[in-house]
Every structure is written in structure tokens, then in C-alpha cells.
Chain A
Amino acid sequence: MEPMVAIFWPAGEEVLQTAAQYGIKNVLVYGGPGSQHMTYQDYVAMRMKIESYDLKLAAIEGGFAPQLDYHDVMFGGPKQDELIEDLLNQVRDMGRAGIPIYGYNWMPNSWGRAQSSMVRGGALGTGYDYDWENSRRPSTFGKDMDEDTMWDALEYWIKAVTPVAEEVGMRCGIHPDDPPVPQRGGVPSIFRNFAAYKRLVEIVDSDYNAIEFCQGTFSEMPGEDIYEMIDYFGKRNKILYVHFRNVSGKAPAFNEEFINTGYVNMKKAMRTYRDAGFAGNFIDDHCPLMVNDDDFPGNLGGYRSRLFAQGYIAGVIESVKKEVEYGGPVDMSAVRKRASS
């Protein structure tokens, strides 16, 4: 378990040097297969640039799913085989270039939010409200899309990509639908609950068919227990890496929070990963927007907000590793009892 930072590419010197200075050894780059092809040479150059800072290119995250060009992959149209063949070639290039993990998603509408929300001290966290979005979002494709059709297309894809991923040694995993609501703009959100992920990992039983575990989104799933899902998929070696962020509650309405002010007990979550034998990395993902923060070349949140989350992540990883030799955290009720006696 180690911290990881997620950045846009091409990356400037400042962000790579920042990661090196703060000892954040693992780097995730947003990108990957899609209509903007990166070549094998591009991926090798990316890896070497990152390694020149004594850092590791640990994952690429992105996806073709929200790109209209790939509609037939998502819904099983006439160009399905041709598009998949092209995607597999891109997957091979990434794997051969030494990229160990590719995280993608199955969200034709990408991810989404509604109004932002005021959180601690007037910082802004993203907010979501299903009714608000539903009353405003037009139909994406002019009709309601069929959920079974999407599952069929997904199964077809998983069966095609998993052997290629195994062959080139690059583990692939899917990010949940964020927000995890039944549909958006008439497109079913198929990865919106625990059951959907159990179904995914059984399509092909392989370590190369896995999960990009956005803990934030899993925490937003109505009716599900976040610790149970971490334990279940962690024990089965299905978690590639973690988006370690926090939220106020679950869909249909929630907002993002600072890492230690949401409803999820992040210490308990980290202990659950540890006990399940998880050995991967943690990114800060989205961070609240803070006063006068400096723009960061990555996801939501500037340098200051992100480094706060990174410090927290480094501390909680170190603590849950070290507490094992002490037999757990300090028993504060015993401390209080001693003090009052």
C-alpha cells in the first residue's frame, strides 16, 4: 500500500518534481485507448520521463467509453469487432511499453455532478442530486438504451480484452458509474452496485479482469456497505488501485467532502484493505476547491488541497501498517479510565 498521484499528460516539470519531493513514488496518468491514439513509442517515452524523476508509472486511467466513436463497443453495433480490434492493439502497445495497470470505465455519459456544495470553511466540494439532474438532462441518444444490451456488449469486450491483457501483462479494471444511479439521460448506469461487480469479475475469472476501485463512488452506492465491498474484492485480488476520497452520503443526493470529514471512516477502510491483503496504491482523486489554491494539472482540486489529502493518505497508510506490531490502535477508553482513577 503506497500513495499515488494522478496527473494529466504531457506533464510539466513542476508536478513531477512535486511528486518526487514529497516522496509520492507512484504516478497515474490520465489517458489510454481512445480516438486520440498514443503510440507504443509515446507510452515508452512517458514511462521514461516519469522514471527520470525516480518515480514509477504505475497506472493509466481513462477510457474510450464516453467517446461517441466507440458507441458500437458499448452497445454492440455494426462496428463492434473492428473497434475492439483497434482497442486491443492500443492495449497491447500499453502493455508492451511496460504499463502495469489500465483503469477505464463503462460510462457513455462520463461521470457527472450537479451543484457544488459548500464544505468546511467555505471550500467547495462537488455535489449531486438525482432529481436535479433528471429534470434537466436531455436524452443522450434520443431513446432509452437497454441494460441487457449493454451487459452483452460488456461481456463481449471482457472476453476479448482479458486474454490480451494477460498476454502483455497489463491488468485492466473498470471504474464504477459515478453517480451510481439507475440511469442518466436514458443510458443505464450498469456499474452502480455490489452485484454488478460480482457479475463483472465472474465474466472471466482472471486477475486481469478487475476493478478500478473508486472508493468514493462505491461509498455513494445506495444500500451497500463500503467496508464489505472492500473486503470482498480485496480478498479476491480484484482491486487494482484505489481512489481514496470521501463523501457525505449515498445517491440519490450527496456531496464530496474533505478526506476525513465524509461519512466513511477512512482508517477503518484502510485497515480493511490491509487485512484483505491489498498491496496496491491510493490516489487522492477529487479534492475540495480551497481559497487561492494553485491549479493542479490533474483532477479536481489544486495543489494545496491535494497535498493535504496526500499527507493524510501517507499518514493513514503508515499508521495502519505500523499498528500491527502494537496489536492495533491505542485503546483510548483504557487511557481515559486510567486518567480518572
Chain B
Amino acid sequence: MRIGMGLNSSANREALRFMAQLGIQDVVLNTPPVPIKNGKWELGDLVGLKSGVESWGLKLTAIENTQIDMRHHLISSGPRFDEQLENMIETIKAIGNAGIPMYTMSWRYPRYYRTGHVDIGWGALGTAYDAEAENWPSVIDWEISLDRAWECLETWVKEAIPVAEKYGVRLGLHPVDPPMPEIGGVPSLLINFENYKRMIDIVDSPYNSILLCQGSFSQFAGADQDNGESIYDMIEYFVKRERVLYVHFRNVSGTVPKFHETFVNTGHVDMYKAMRIYAENGFDGFFMDDHVPMTIGDSDWSHRSKAYANGYIQSLIETVTDTSLYGLH
């Protein structure tokens, strides 16, 4: 098990030095500003992106999300479905040719959002969601049924996985966050245990995997109950099947329809217990901080809050496994 960190941009020097100093072993670039050329990403731009990370002695392990307008019709069955399917497959090939081993994305449109922030103590702010405060208008001017939404996902998985296998890129799908059944007129699929089981069964391959945003999984209805579908049960199930690529290791106060994010060690999930489950089931991926709370005096990128969460995660990995991340003890 390793330590990672994500960056919502391209390779910026200051952030990469910060990561190098914290001993980050896997870098994730989320929605990097790779130019979209004829609807897809091209190899040359991805090689440049990767060498920007490697120039700081770091490893670009995953790209998380392309720009949403490269794939929104694919997810929501829009008129450009076929074109986006083809272009995303070409993009997967380019990612593989560039030597980037993972591509992950949220199978949802519109993208992640919250309805506000709450004071989680002494003015620290966590993002918050309340279904009653939600007011998304429809984001599509066509209709899509739940069955059709599954067809779209199944088509993608069946078309993309053989290509991913051939080009050496493991694909992982991030849950819908917030995990509500429908948003903006588009049915949500990856919002519970059952649907994730269905997703990984579409094609039984380690290349058809999960970006286990533990925060989002912890927000699933019932994830905080001892009901056989708790956050701990879900982690165990998917790690045992080797279908987890990496983990967004964050914590939340509760589940949908109303929750807020917390510090990594103050939510409803016992993070120590969670970390043991990854270790006991032979997980070999990495953990990264995600959505850290906003604290006083911190930078826009929340360097302080990220450093705290990252230090906490590093100690949990090392103490649970009784090993050193860096092979020292």
C-alpha cells in the first residue's frame, strides 16, 4: 500500500515540490488541461504531461477525468453518443501509449457538487450536501430512462475494457457524488453496493475496476449501518476481488440525503478499521487525501490541511501494516 496525492491541474512546480517533500509515491492529475483535439486527447500532449511530473522524481500513476464535454453524451445518451464513445476509446489508447497506467472517471453528468459548507469546529469549513437544498435544472434536452443509462454504461465497459487491456490502462469508475438517484434529469447508477457489483460484472477483468472514493461510498444510503452493506463491507468485497485501483481516503458525517465532510479522523467512519480491511485483504494500491476542510490561514490549494490529512494517512498505512512506506523499518 502506497501514499498518493492528487492535483487539479497540470504539473505545477510548487505543488509537485510539495508532493516530493511529503514523499508522495503516486501522483494523480484530475482533469488536467490537456487540449481537446478533434474531440480527443493526443499522445504528444500526454507525454508532456507525464514528463512534467517525472521531472520532480514523481510518478504519474493516474489521470482522473477528462473534460466533461468529451463524455457527457456518452453518459447521458446524447446525440453525440457514438462520436464520444469512439473519441474516448482513442483517448484511452493515447493514455496507454503515453505509459500512464490508470485512467479513472466519474460516470456521471453533471459533475460533483455540494449545496453549501458547514462550520465543523472553530471556523473550519467542510463541504455540505442537503437534498432539500438541491435545485439542479435539467442539464439535457432529451430523455434518458434508467435502463438506457445502464445500456450506455454497459456499452462503454464492453467497448473500452478490451482496448484498456491491450494498451495497459486500468480503468476505474468513481461513484456518483452526491450519491442520489437522479441529478439534472440524468439517472445515477453508481450510488450503492448493488450497482457497483453489477458494474464490475459487466466485464470480469481487473481492467474494469473502481476508484474507491471512500468518502462517496461512505455517503451511500445505509453505509453507516451494520447491515451487510456498510462502508467496511463494501471495501472488503471489492478489495478481495482486486477491483480497487486507489482510494480517496476522506471522511463524512453521515449519508445521503444530508451529510457534510469532516476532517479525515472525525467522521462516521473508523478510518483505522477501514485501513485494516484494505491491508487484510491484500490491497496493493494507494491512498490519497481528498476534499480536505478549509482551515484558517490556509492557501487556496489547502496545503496545510492536505499535509495534515496526508500525514495521518501515512501513519495509518505504516502502523496498520507495521512496515515503512519507504522500506526503512
Chain A: residues with CB nearer than 8 A to chain B? 14, 17-18, 20-23, 53-54, 120-123, 258-261, 263-268, 270, 288, 290-292, 294, 303-305, 307-316, 318-320, 322-323, 326, 328-330, 332, 335-336, 338-339
Q: Per a CB cutoff under 8 Å, which of A20, A264, A291, A305 touches B122?
A: A20
Which residues of chain A come closer than 8 Å to B322, judged between CB atoms?
Answer: 267, 328-330, 332
Please choose the segment from B177-185, B230-238, B309-317 that sits at the chain A interface, where 4 or more of its residues have CB less than 8 A away: B309-317
Q: Are B21 and A303 in contact (CB under 8 A)?
A: no
Q: Are A17 and B296 in contact (CB under 8 A)?
A: yes
Q: Are B328 and A263 in contact (CB under 8 A)?
A: yes
Some 10 contacts from A to B, beta carbons below 8 A apart, are A14-B297, A17-B296, A267-B315, A270-B319, A311-B307, A311-B308, A311-B312, A314-B265, A316-B315, A318-B272
Which residues of chain A come closer than 8 Å to B123, judged between CB atoms?
Answer: 17, 21
Q: With A and B bound together, what is the CA distance between A123 and B304 in angstroms?
A: 16
Q: Are B326 and A260 in contact (CB under 8 A)?
A: yes
A-side binding surface: helix, strand, loop or mixed?
A: helix
Chain B's nearest CB lies how many Å from the CB of A124?
A: 10
B139 within 8 A of A: no
Among the interface residues A120, A292, A304, A336, which one has the most CB atoms of the partner chain B within 10 A?
A: A304
B325 within 8 A of A: yes
Q: With A and B bound together, what is the CA distance between A339 and B325 in angstroms?
A: 20
Which residues of chain B come closer than 8 Å to A313, judged between CB atoms?
Answer: 311, 315
Q: Per a CB cutoff under 8 Å, which of B56, B310, B318, B323 touches A308?
A: B310
A-B pairs under 8 A by CB, number = 175
Q: Per a CB cutoff under 8 Å, which of B265, B280, B293, B315 touches A330?
A: B280
Which residues of chain A come closer than 8 Å to B316, judged between CB atoms?
Answer: 315, 318-319
Q: A21-B296, A121-B56 are in contact. List 15 more A-B contacts (CB 8 A).
A: A18-B296, A21-B293, A22-B263, A23-B121, A23-B265, A53-B122, A288-B21, A290-B18, A304-B307, A307-B307, A315-B315, A318-B316, A328-B322, A332-B322, A332-B323
Q: Are B319 and A329 in contact (CB under 8 A)?
A: yes
B76 within 8 A of A: no
Q: Which residue of A lies closest to B281 (CB)?
A: A335
Which residues of chain B come closer than 8 Å to A267, judged between CB atoms?
Answer: 315, 318-319, 322, 329
Q: With A and B bound together, what is the CA distance between A266 and B282 in angstroms?
A: 24
Among the interface residues B56, B266, B293, B320, which one has the most CB atoms of the partner chain A within 10 A?
A: B320
Q: Per a CB cutoff under 8 Å, which of B276, B313, B315 touches A326?
A: B276
Q: Are A121 and B20 in contact (CB under 8 A)?
A: yes
B305 within 8 A of A: yes
Q: With A and B bound together, what is the CA distance between A77 and B328 in angstroms?
A: 48
Q: Per a CB cutoff under 8 Å, which of B56, B279, B310 touches A311?
A: B310
Which residues of chain A come closer than 8 Å to B318, judged between CB atoms?
Answer: 260, 266-267, 316
Q: Per a CB cutoff under 8 Å, which of A304, A312, A326 touches B314?
A: A312
Chain A's nearest CB lies how many Å from the CB of B314?
A: 6
Q: Give the interface size bracket for B toward A.
A: 35 or more
Q: With A and B bound together, what is the CA distance between A319 and B311 in angstroms?
A: 13
Which residues of chain A come closer than 8 Å to B87, judged between CB atoms?
Answer: none
Q: Are A315 and B312 in contact (CB under 8 A)?
A: yes
Q: Which residue of B lies closest to A16 (CB)?
A: B122
Given contacts A14-B296, A258-B23, is CB(A330)–CB(B122) below 8 Å? no
Within 8 A of A (CB), among B1-48: 14, 17-23
Among the interface residues B17, B18, B19, B315, which one has the most CB atoms of the partner chain A within 10 A?
A: B315
Which residues of chain A come closer than 8 Å to B281, judged between CB atoms?
Answer: 335
Q: With A and B bound together, what is the CA distance between A268 and B328 in angstroms?
A: 13
Given contacts A14-B297, A21-B122, A303-B297, is CB(A332)–CB(B279) below 8 Å? yes
Among the interface residues A312, A315, A320, A326, which one has the most CB atoms of the partner chain B within 10 A?
A: A315
Q: Are B308 and A22 in contact (CB under 8 A)?
A: yes
B295 within 8 A of A: yes
Top 6 A-B pairs, shortest CB-CB distance: A311-B311, A315-B315, A121-B20, A121-B21, A319-B319, A265-B329
Q: Which residue of B lies closest to A264 (CB)?
A: B329
Q: Which residue of A lies closest to B325 (CB)?
A: A260
Q: Are B22 and A21 in contact (CB under 8 A)?
A: no
Q: With A and B bound together, what is the CA distance between A141 and B15 in angstroms?
A: 48
Q: Per a CB cutoff under 8 Å, which of B21, B263, B272, B282 touches A322?
A: B272
B303 within 8 A of A: yes
Q: Are A307 and B319 in contact (CB under 8 A)?
A: no
Q: Are B304 and A303 in contact (CB under 8 A)?
A: yes
Q: With A and B bound together, what is the CA distance between A311 and B280 in angstroms?
A: 23
Given contacts A121-B17, A332-B322, A338-B282, is CB(A319)–CB(B328) below 8 Å? no
B321 within 8 A of A: yes
Q: Are B308 and A310 in contact (CB under 8 A)?
A: yes
Given contacts A17-B296, A304-B303, is CB(A310)–CB(B320) below 8 Å? no
Q: Are B297 and A294 in contact (CB under 8 A)?
A: yes
Which residues of chain A come closer than 8 Å to B323, judged between CB atoms?
Answer: 332
